């Protein structure tokens, strides 16, 4: 146990109380390693977002068991309040519970509290270690920011003395998938402003805005190819912009190291070139669009790299998001190969998929139960965080929010959509992220979490249907302060002829939030006969209709900030045998079966390899059983595309922000 975890956990002596109230305005507890340590000591944490939902869960799962001397889900419960006060809590909780107050000012006594407030819980452990080892005196605001930059983000502004050092730090930051809080980006900009070589650079934005930084690197890469003698083909709809004018020293070894990874992960797009000079550097070919045979070799090499660099069992959820994006890009490239070349590298790709799935399942057993409680201010970790994240964006000034849920869209299929959007829409900015769907990754379970902001246990009565989504969506936003006429929900959207009705609807200035379900990908998946390769081809044909960019364009034109996500992905699976159990199974999917009791869940025949994986966020009588690996409860050997299970492709879904480039540039 690290010193940081020990510092937090010792605030909760297990023998003193069963019910604890943690006043935690800085979200100190919302770190996966802290939550895991508390869970190992017999604690469970529940956030006090909704008093009625909390009381139902507390009374049903914990208090009644404790009062009867029965085994509860945990030995003790922590009621988590993201504030200093507990006045909003019912009196009986305050009477029964033991209070703990946690705050960064008390823990980091030698650092300036205002400078600490912008950093997230994921950085507290590293900061605590640095504070213990290196904070020898009380630091002011500016010195605290430099301390955090140096010891948490590994950036020393005073040592950035030329453009090579500057771009190296920008690349290193975004390679880790991180961005700097605004206050720290301001500090770097203030430190560098006196140096002439940085006078024309938008220093602050390059450190705090990943989408803008990647745009700048992409534009500069095209300039570099031209200088190196390559003849770069123009992309449809491409226009020059201010970030195209940056000159990045790509030839420098410190810069080169990061560029290949950004291309491998799909963060940068290889450029099509009509010709290359004879002396073109070999390292730079990673950023050149390849012919089919070169692409096949690239896929095989990337598959090996993915299999050899999987997150460990102690990794963070952010490491899994990065892996899922990299695997998605790999699969997108693989499905784009001609059939004969794809067959030649299929074994490499399958080994990467299997290795990733096995490692993820080990990680899920250790960490998945803690994910629902994590903070989501910087982006949702799980799908039920999405509505609250949108309220946060509204609070930051983005008054009109559109949530596009592409039912069944996996990350590799998002990569396909993204390529088409970047080719056809030069006026938008795309910021890519990911989040976890709920298990089981079935539409009625996972999609409802998106539109309700609730865990599945909290909508148990409708867990087998999506018919309640409009009312759940409206209820969430009315409780967030909107009026009924300011909220809309539409589903079944898939064709261009439906867009005029959507445009008329969102043109109403009263509408502040729009939830739109796009069903086409899920429809394609359920009718698939040629696997995910065939699905990729059908999605390509759908994109040719212009539906996706026209939907996005009409929402952008009406002033909406768009977030695009999915309720689950999909996976190529192989039948392990049918389950002919009649009514024993409540929900019957190919990748999961749901039972209402332990006895029924144990009725799966032993000759069919299946596993139980129960979660505290599910109803107590909702017990999923999954086939092992990429199996499916269909005829032995059947090749299908399905969802519901625990693979990377099903469980980690895209979470994308799309906005107007011009509006962002004005900020």
The residue among 374 and 417 whose pLDDT is bigger is 417
Q: How far apart (Å, rounded) are the C-alpha atoms in residues 559 and 564?
A: 16
> CA-based angle 177:180:182, to the nearest 5?
145
Cross-strand pairs, 19: 77
- List, for residues 446-466, the tens digit of each pLDDT value: 999 999 999 999 899 999 999
Q: Are 361 and 439 in contact (CB under 8 A)?
A: no
pLDDT of residue 231: 67
Confidence of residue 235 (pLDDT cuts 50, 70, 90): very low
pTM for this entry: 0.90
Residue 113: pLDDT over 50: yes
Q: In this predicted structure, which of 102-106, 162-166, 263-267, 455-459 has the lowest mean pLDDT?
A: 263-267
Longest CA–CA separation in the chain, Å: 81
pLDDT of residue 237: 40
Confidence of residue 664 (pLDDT cuts 50, 70, 90): low
Give the chain's mean pLDDT. Answer: 89
Compute the average pLDDT of residues 228-252.
65
Residue 267: pLDDT over 60: yes
Compute the average pLDDT of residues 601-614.
85
Q: Are 287 and 298 in contact (CB under 8 A)?
A: no
pLDDT of residue 239: 45
Q: Are 111 and 147 in contact (CB under 8 A)?
A: yes
List the strands of the sheet with 631-632, edge to edge.
631-632, 571-575, 639-642
Highest mean predicted confidence (pLDDT) among 420-424, 513-517, 614-618: 513-517
What are 132's two structure tokens? 């213990």
- List, for residues 340-353, the tens digit of each pLDDT value: 999 999 999 999 99
The secondary structure of the chain in percent helix, strand, coil, rounded to multiples of 5, reads 50, 15, 35
Place of tokens 């690290």: 2
Confidence of residue 506 (pLDDT cuts 50, 70, 90): very high
Report the run of H or E that residue 88 belongs to, with start and end.
Answer: none
Compute the average pLDDT of residues 641-650.
95
* Neighbouring residues of 238: CB distance < 8 A, sequence distance ≥ 6: 426
Compute the average pLDDT of residues 114-130.
91
- List, for residues 13-26, the tens digit of each pLDDT value: 988 888 899 999 99
- List, for residues 536-595, the tens digit of each pLDDT value: 999 999 999 999 999 999 999 999 999 999 999 999 999 999 887 654 444 557 899 999
- List, for residues 427-444, the tens digit of each pLDDT value: 899 999 999 999 999 999
Compute the average pLDDT of residues 283-287.
85
Q: Are 310 and 356 in contact (CB under 8 A)?
A: yes
């Amino acid at each position: 146990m690290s010193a940081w975890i020990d510092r937090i956990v010792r605030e909760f002596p297990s023998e003193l109380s069963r019910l604890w109230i943690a006043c935690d305005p800085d979200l100190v507890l919302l770190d996966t390693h802290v939550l895991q340590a508390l869970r190992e000591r017999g604690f469970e944490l529940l956030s006090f977002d909704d008093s009625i939902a909390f009381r139902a869960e507390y009374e049903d799962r914990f208090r009644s068991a404790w009062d009867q001397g029965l085994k509860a889900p945990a030995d003790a419960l922590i009621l988590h309040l993201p504030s200093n006060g507990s006045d909003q809590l019912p009196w009986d909780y305050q009477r029964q519970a033991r209070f703990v107050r946690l705050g960064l000012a008390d823990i980091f006594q030698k650092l300036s509290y205002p400078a600490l407030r912008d950093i997230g819980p994921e950085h507290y452990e590293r900061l605590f270690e640095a504070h213990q080892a290196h904070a020898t005196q009380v630091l002011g605001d500016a010195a605290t920011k430099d301390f955090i930059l140096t010891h948490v983000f590994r950036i020393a502004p005073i040592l950035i003395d030329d453009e090579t050092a500057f771009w190296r730090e920008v690349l290193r930051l975004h390679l880790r998938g991180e961005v700097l809080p605004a206050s720290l980006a301001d500090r770097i900009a203030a430190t560098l402003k006196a140096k002439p070589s940085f006078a024309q650079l938008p220093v602050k934005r390059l450190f705090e805005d990943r989408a803008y930084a990647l745009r700048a690197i992409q534009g500069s890469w095209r300039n570099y190819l031209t200088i190196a003698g390559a003849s770069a083909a123009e992309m449809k709809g491409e226009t020059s912009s201010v970030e195209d004018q940056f000159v990045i020293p790509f030839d420098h070894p410190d810069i080169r190291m990061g560029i290949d990874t950004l291309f491998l992960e799909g963060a940068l797009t290889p450029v099509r070139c009509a010709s290359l000079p004879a002396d073109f550097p070999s390292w730079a070919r990673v950023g050149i669009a390849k012919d089919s045979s070169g692409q096949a070799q690239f896929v095989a090499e990337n598959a090996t790299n993915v299999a050899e660099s999987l997150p460990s069992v102690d990794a963070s959820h952010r490491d899994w998001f990065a892996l899922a994006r990299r695997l998605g890009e790999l699969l997108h490239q693989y499905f784009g190969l001609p059939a004969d070349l794809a067959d030649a590298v299929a074994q490499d790709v399958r080994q990467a998929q299997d290795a990733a799935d096995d490692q993820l399942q080990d990680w899920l057993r250790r960490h998945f139960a803690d994910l629902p409680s994590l903070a989501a201010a910087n982006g949702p970790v799980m799908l039920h965080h999405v509505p609250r994240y949108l309220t946060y964006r509204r609070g930051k000034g983005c008054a009109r929010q559109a949530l596009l849920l592409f039912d069944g869209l996996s990350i590799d299929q998002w990569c396909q959509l993204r390529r088409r959007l970047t080719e056809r829409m030069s006026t938008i900015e795309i910021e890519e992220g990911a989040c976890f769907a709920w298990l089981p990754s079935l539409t009625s379970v996972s999609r409802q979490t998106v539109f309700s902001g609730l865990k599945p246990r909290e909508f148990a009565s409708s867990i087998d249907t999506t018919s309640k989504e409009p009312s759940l969506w409206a209820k969430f936003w009315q409780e967030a302060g909107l009026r009924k006429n300011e909220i809309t929900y539409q589903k079944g959207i898939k064709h261009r002829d439906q867009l005029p009705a959507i445009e008329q609807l969102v043109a109403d200035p009263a509408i502040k939030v729009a939830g739109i379900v796009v069903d086409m990908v899920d429809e394609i998946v359920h009718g698939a006969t040629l696997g995910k390769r065939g699905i990729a081809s059908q999605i390509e044909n759908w994109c040719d209709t212009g539906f996706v960019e026209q939907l996005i364009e009409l929402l952008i034109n009406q002033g909406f900030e768009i977030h695009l996500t999915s309720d689950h992905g999909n996976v190529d699976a192989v039948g392990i045998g049918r389950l002919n159990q009649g009514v024993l199974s409540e929900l019957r999917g190919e990748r999961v079966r749901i039972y209402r009791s332990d006895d029924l869940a144990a009725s799966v025949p032993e000759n069919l390899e299946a596993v139980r994986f129960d979660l505290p966020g599910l109803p107590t009588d909702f017990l999923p059983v999954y086939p092992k690996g990429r199996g499916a409860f269909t005829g032995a050997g059947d090749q299908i595309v399905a969802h519901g299970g625990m693979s990377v492709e099903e469980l980690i879904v895209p979470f994308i922000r799309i906005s107007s480039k011009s509006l962002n540039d004005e900020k």
